[in-house]
Amino acid sequence: MTILVTLLLMLLLLLLKGFFSGSEIALVSSDKIKLRHQARMGNKGAQAVLKLFQTPDILLGTTLVGTNIATVALTTLGTLLLVDLFGNDADLYALLIYSPLFLIFGEIVPKSVYQQHATLIAPYLIRILALFTKLFFPLIFIFSRIARFIAHLTGSVKADSSLFISREQIRSIVELAEMGSNLDVFDRYRIKRAIRFSDTTVGQVMTPVADMVALDKDSSLENAVRLCKSLSFNDIPIYDGNISNIVGVLSLSPWDIMELDLKNDKLSDIISPALFVTENQYLEELFLLFDKQDCRTAIAVDEFGTCIGMIDKQDLYEEVVGDLEETPEDQSRRRYRKRMMCQKLSEGSMLIDAKVPISEVNEILGTKINGQDYFSLGGLMLAHLHHLPAVGESFEDYGYRFTIDAMSERAIKTVRVDKLS
């Protein structure tokens, strides 16, 4: 066998080794959701990939057998070539030349390239792999049966697959996806919010009482209708004496207003009983309560029964998907709910609204602040400073410096956050 023929055979075997190594990582890294969509659209390659996933031992057996056959043949030919050229020193040259060459071009480069285009090339790779599966089937069958027998002896019997996946498993999957490019920023953000939903409490999401728009029960019906129209028929809390004593909720539709007698009807006759919840109640439970009580607004109260805020169904939806797109009419309807803000000032510095929940702060900063002790960034500031602070006061913790940026007469408005070097 001439040197040229040997080199050509080695090149072919190196390409095969790279193909099997890359195919394994491509199939494992491919986006299963996109493949299912392609399969439903009639893509035969995607259908074949999903079918092969049902027998992972066959899939891995094909790639492993192919990789090992190519490696053994490649090493044998390469060693024989060097023996002809260098005689007794062939072992040393084989180690110095082939080890980095086979590792880089047979493993690292193919796996890197295939992983970056995994979902795109998987339907095409599967057709070639199917051919090798038939070719290697006797070996694959024997090895897979031996592996299953050993697994059975060691007690590693495959359990019935569960139809459900835990939040912790989903969270782990998202964290792993962040290392790659299979999940964009918006999907990551939305999934994390959905996972966090059942662990989030009313106090973390509610509109605080200071930002609520409410109406005295002795107000005229004309004023109530006017306010209701200005808020695009959003529910309005009704109080007796002061806003901390909510007695009901006004819910009017345009059809209800058409049927009202503004001169003779009284506001107290058309208000609905309020649904009262605690600040520590979970949103998951509240969502079920809304459906059970057939209402869309709840009033949050403290241990003394005093109103401390309100929350509605749209707040729950936005907790999962983020702020919903609003028309100009919706903006007036939601004007009582001040939008939470995070503005980047420079690298490592940002301005954050004091009303932003601690869960959001942790997501923005990558911190692990305990959200059970204080619901918002403003609450965190008050807990650390132990008094109503002035602009410019600050503290350092969690790897950041938190500085009061703006204050109202009795509340923190915005906080500047700077990363400590």
366-410: per-residue pLDDT in tens?
888 887 677 789 989 999 999 989 999 999 999 999 999 999 888
26 pLDDT exceeds 60? yes
- Please give the Cα distance from 220 to 250 (Å, whole number): 13
- Categorize the per-residue pLDDT at 69 as very low, low, confident or very high, splitting at 50, 70 and 90: confident
- Please give the Cα distance from 301 to 328 (Å, whole number): 31
- Please give the Cα distance from 32 to 53 (Å, whole number): 10
8-24: per-residue pLDDT in tens?
888 888 888 888 888 88
Taking each helix axis from N to C terminus, what angle separates 118-135 and 109-116, rounded to the nearest 10 degrees? 120
Q: Residue 51: which residues within 8 A CB-CB, separation 6 or more? A: none
The strands making up 307-312's β-sheet, listed across from edge to edge, are 207-208, 307-312, 297-301, 275-278
DSSP for 124-148, written as a single string = HHHHHHHHHHHHSHHHHHHHHHHHH
Within 215-271, residue ranges assigned H as helices are 221-230, 254-259, 267-270
Q: Give the tokens for residue 330.
A: 């919706």
Per DSSP, 263 falls in state: T
Torsion angles phi and psi, residue 149, rounded to 5: -65, -45
- Please give the Cα distance from 137 to 143 (Å, whole number): 10
Q: Residue 99: which residues within 8 A CB-CB, separation 6 or more? A: none
H-run or E-run covering 207:
strand 207-208
Quote the distance between the C-alpha of residue 139 and its chain's center: 42
185-244: per-residue pLDDT in tens?
445 556 666 667 777 888 888 888 888 888 898 888 888 888 887 776 678 899 998 888
- Categorize the per-residue pLDDT at 357 as very low, low, confident or very high, splitting at 50, 70 and 90: confident
Q: Residue 322: which residues within 8 A CB-CB, separation 6 or more? A: 189, 190, 193
245-288: per-residue pLDDT in tens?
999 998 877 777 777 776 667 777 888 899 999 988 888 889 88
Altogether, the residues listed in the chain come to a count of 421
Of 280-284, 326-330, 413-417, highest mean pLDDT: 413-417
Q: Residue 276: which residues within 8 A CB-CB, separation 6 or more? A: 298, 299, 300, 301, 305
Average the pLDDT over each of 103-107, 175-179, 385-389, 413-417 and give the range with the smallest value. Answer: 175-179
Quote the distance between the C-alpha of residue 391 and its chain's center: 35
- Please give the Cα distance from 270 to 260 (Å, whole number): 10
Q: Give the tokens for residue 307.
A: 């109103």
In this prediction, residues 27-43 reach a mean pLDDT of: 81
Taking each helix axis from N to C terminus, what angle separates 313-321 and 185-197, rounded to the nearest 10 degrees? 140
Residue-level pLDDT at 140: 79
Residue-level pLDDT at 226: 83
CA neighbor of 136 nearest in space, from 71, 74, 64: 64
Within 302-376, residue ranges assigned H as helices are 313-321, 328-333, 358-365
Q: Residue 271: which residues within 8 A CB-CB, separation 6 or more? A: 217, 238, 247, 248, 249, 250
Residues 341 and 405: beta-carbon distance below 8 Å: no
DSSP for 7-33, written as a single string = HHHHHHHHHHHHHHHHHHHHHHHS-HH
